[in-house]
Every structure is written in C-alpha cells, then in structure tokens.
Amino acid sequence: MAGIGHVLVLPFPAQGHVNSLMRFSRQMAKHGLKITFVNMEYIHKRVVSSMPEEGSLMDSDINLVSIPGGLDSDDERNDLGKAMEALLRTVPARLEELVEGINASNGTGDINNITCILADGAMGWAVEVADKMGIRGAIFWSTVAASSALLMSMPRLIDDGILNGDGKTTLLLELIQLSPGIPAFETTNLPWAAIPDPTTQKLEFISLYRTKRGSLQTIADWWLCNTAYELEPASFDLFPKLLAIGPLLENDQTGQFRQEDSSCLNWLDQQASRSVIYISFGSYATLDPIQFQELALGLSLINRPFLWVVDQRNIDRAKNAFPDESQGQGACTKIVDWAPQTKVLAHPAVACFISHCGWNSVTEGITNGVPFLCWPQFIDQFLDKSYICDEWKVGLGFDLAENGLVLRGEVAKKVEQMISNESIRARALELKEIILKTRAEGGHSSKNFKNFIKWLK
C-alpha cells in the first residue's frame, strides 16, 4: 500500500548503524510506507554484494540508493574524524539534490514524494536539510539511550564548565555521571576521547557538537531510540523527548556488509542444549595478534563446543589454532567469517555470548535471554558493559593481566563461571520477558512505534 508516506532513511556509514535502520525500515515498510534507504557509495556496494541472490527487499517498498561520501580510501573511511568531517562537508548538498530529484520526477504534490527524512543520530544535521526543504524530520539513535543522552548533554557540559570547546575535561575528572540512574562515563572512553590523534580527536568532537546542537533544536519532530524504556529509564527521564521503540529485531539480516555463513545453524542443530559458547566481536573491532592467540588458547582449554566469528583476514589463523576444525582439543568447533547472529542467539544450543558489547549485539543477546561475557573494545561498548554487568546483572567481564591482555586462563575461568551461574541465566530470562512485553501489543515500545507510524501517515 505505497503512497501513504515516503521516508528517506539516512544511516551513519557503519555496520551497526546501517543494520539498525534497515530493521526499522523493514518495520515501516510492513505498515505500507515507502522507504528510500540512502547509503554512501562504498557502503551501498558492500550491502548489495552481500545480499542473497533472491534479494529480500524486492517484494517490499524499500529502495536502496547511494550518494558519494567524500572519501576515496578505506584508510580514510576507517578514520572516524575524517569520516565525520567528509560527511558534513559533502553529504548535505548531495542529500538535498537527491530529494529534489526524486520529488521532481514524481511531480508537485505527488503522493510518492518524500515527506520525511529519518536521520541517524550521528547524522542529525540531516534534519536541517529537511527543514530547509519544508520536509518533516526525525532522528533515530542506534546506540544505548545513555550514550545518546551524553551526546545530547554536550552543550550543557560545556556551559557548566565540565568540557571545553575541544572536548577536554576542564576538571580532574575520571568519571562523568549525567544522573544517579545512569552509569558513569569514563572520561578516557568518551566518543571523541577514544581517538589517539589529538587533531583528529578535536575534529571529531567539533563534528559531534555541531550535530548535537542541530538535533537539539525543535526542527526534529521525533527522537527515537532502538532500546526499551524498561532497560534504562533514567536516560529517558533525563530527556523526555527521547522515545524508546525497540529493541528492533529482524531474522532477515538484509543490510549486512559481509555474506552470512548459514552452515553454522546446521552445526548448532547437532549440539546439545545450552552447550555452545558463541564468540563475535562485530564487524569493526579486531584483536591484536597476541590477544588473538590468547583467546584461541583459552577456547582450547574449555573443552566445550564453540562457534567463533572471525573476519576474513584472520580466519585462516583461527583455523590453524585448531588443527581439526570439527574436533579441537576434545570439543566441537565451528569458525565462520560472518554468522546470521539473530538466528544464532535464538538457538537453544547457545549457552553464552562472548561479545564486544556493540549495541546491536547487546539487544540481540538480551532479547533471546543469552548471558554475556563482556569484552568491550571502544567508546560506548564500555557503557554497554556497565549495563550488562552492573545494572541488569546478566553478564560478567574479563579481568586484564598486568600486560593489558585477557589471558587464556582468564578466558577459560570466566566461561566456566558463566556456565555454572544459574542466577545470571535466570536474570537473563527475566530480562527477555520484560523486552517481549514492551514490544508486544500495548507495550511501551509498541505504543511509541505505532504513534510514529500514525504521524508518518
């Protein structure tokens, strides 16, 4: 039932952001809305090449399009500061041209014209483009709401003298806490502070500050977040305009940058209930060679089946750590380049999830009642770990040795602690029920989502 409304969706060019907004887009399309999903050219190519031969979007009202992102090399794209600067410099004009072209091809007043721009929170400036063109605008946060609250608090933190104009803390603070119900942020793990180069760090802060100032203006009609109010009520109480509509989950993983290896599902079918350790560090995080080897040796000690997602650059090294992939050190092993994670975590054979704590992985894990072993790598992943271990108590963290590594013995010890900890598993199942209720008919997230759809129509 196309023609009720046409939404242009603009994600930040990173796997977790594209994935979240694609899930949201599929939900909107199910309600009869037409979607134009805009990726940067280099992301668009990866998404299209990773889609199944029978494209799962062909029967929906989602149209995948691309615009130039202003960067030519992978090295530049992986530099967060340069990526943010290039996006701000080149994409607003390209976005305006795209909207004008689509609407001009339809004609003035056509029911298929774009009526709303839904922008990733990291691309909040796009609502300024929408406002300029007389189109409604909404912002979608793909991270934990507390992380969004921090970024939205940047102007206040500067006004209060806690941060200066370069994003540096003006006081000798190791922690910043926005409110009593929100875990404290370590100043060394603020989104811009995690960048080692001082010049790039400053550029990233300025880019984020500009974005958040724009999104704080009233031109954004809706601020939506891929989480549940019940998971972090203090964040929503601090910013009442922020509304929970998640967690958003889809078994169809359209929007992936890498092709999924579904053979791991057949392998899981052959494993005992709650026996498999699932390990994945997402699409971006990588372990240095020494840490990689310690993890491999730790897995060889646990004598339990495990499914390990390893990027293509390291998959041979991982397999060589276990001479016989199907029978390593007395336990079944499966190593893949990329997995259909939502289906994996829903499988009854999975006992726990060794995770980098990216927000998509967190929501997929808790929605399926899977306990976590937390191994955060950067930025908001440390905050996500605080929620998992300290607030929700559905996981454990790894302790670092003096050399800063998680050693093989620590890996084996924490896995055994997790497997034998029935109280953590019980809390994980309780949290799963809370999430199912908020997403069900009449639940908090369900109501917010339906109100947004009514507004779009």
User: What would the pLDDT profile of 53-69 be if each residue is shown by its tens digit?
Assistant: 655 554 567 999 999 87
Residue 280: strand, helix, or coil = strand
Tell me what the mean pLDDT of segment 27-52 comes to.
89
Cα separation, 333 vs 318, whole angstroms: 11
Q: Which residues contact 149 (CB under 8 A, 6 or more apart)?
A: 178, 182, 235, 238, 239, 242
Cα separation, 132 vs 136, whole angstroms: 10
Is residue 109 pLDDT above 70, yes or no? no
Answer whether 342's CB lies under 8 Å from 363's CB: no
Cα separation, 208 vs 122, whole angstroms: 7
Alpha-carbon 303 to chain mean position: 31
Tell me what the mean pLDDT of segment 91-113 comes to.
86
Cα separation, 279 vs 355, whole angstroms: 6
What tokens does 37 get? 């999903």
Cα separation, 353 vs 360, whole angstroms: 13
Question: Residue 56: its pLDDT value, please?
Answer: 54
Ranges 245-254, 266-275, 378-387: which has the least confidence? 245-254
Answer whether 390's CB lies under 8 Å from 396's CB: no
Cα separations in angstroms, 261 against 252, 311, 335: 13, 12, 10
CATH architecture of 6-252+441-456: 3-Layer(aba) Sandwich (3.40)
Question: Residue 2: its pLDDT value, please?
Answer: 43
Measured at the CA of 178, the angle between CA 176 and CA 180, to 5 degrees, comes to 105
pLDDT one-digit tens code per residue, 382-435: 999 999 999 999 999 999 999 999 999 999 999 999 999 999 999 999 999 999
pLDDT one-digit tens code per residue, 295-353: 999 998 988 999 999 987 777 777 777 655 444 443 478 999 899 999 999 999 999 99
Please tell me what DSSP assigns to residue 42.
Answer: H
For 82, phi and psi rounded to 5 degrees?
-65, -40
Cα separation, 72 vs 188, whole angstroms: 30
Is residue 27 pLDDT above 80, yes or no? yes
Question: Residue 168: its pLDDT value, please?
Answer: 81
Tell me what the mean pLDDT of segment 16-31 comes to.
92
For 140, phi and psi rounded to 5 degrees?
-125, 125
**CA-atom Rg of the chain in angstroms:** 22
Q: How are the residues of the chain apportioned to helix, strand and coil, as percentages rounded to the nearest 5? A: 45, 15, 40
Question: Residue 212: its pLDDT value, please?
Answer: 61
Measured at the CA of 144, the angle between CA 141 and CA 147, to 5 degrees, comes to 85
Is residue 5 pLDDT above 50, yes or no? yes
- Choice between 40 and 202, residue whose per-residue pLDDT is larger: 40
Tell me the torsion sign for CA atoms 178, 191, 215, 386: negative
What would the CATH number be for the domain defined by 263-420?
Answer: 3.40.50.2000
Please state, for a pLDDT cut of 90, what percent of the chain lies above it.
55
Question: Residue 330: its pLDDT value, please?
Answer: 39
Question: Residue 76: its pLDDT value, please?
Answer: 55
What tokens does 77 get? 């794209």
Does the pTM of the predicted model rise above 0.85?
yes
Answer whether 347's CB lies under 8 Å from 330's CB: no
Cα separation, 412 vs 268, whole angstroms: 21
Tell me what the mean pLDDT of segment 117-142 comes to.
91
Cα separation, 445 vs 340, whole angstroms: 25
174-213 per-residue burial string, b: 16 or more CB within 10 A, e: under 16 = eebebeeebbebebeebbbbbbeeeebbbbbbbbbbebbe
Residue 138: strand, helix, or coil = strand
Residue found under tokens 């607030």: 391
Ranges 130-134, 160-164, 415-419: which has the least confidence? 160-164
Measured at the CA of 13, the angle between CA 22 and CA 454, to 5 degrees, comes to 35
Question: Residue 86: its pLDDT value, please?
Answer: 77
Alpha-carbon 99 to chain mean position: 27
- Choice between 73 and 310, residue whose per-residue pLDDT is larger: 310
The whole-chain average pLDDT of the chain stands at 86
Parts of the chain belonging to CATH 3.40.50.2000: 6-252+441-456, 263-420
List the one residue out of 118, 341, 147 whose CA is nearest residue 227. Answer: 147
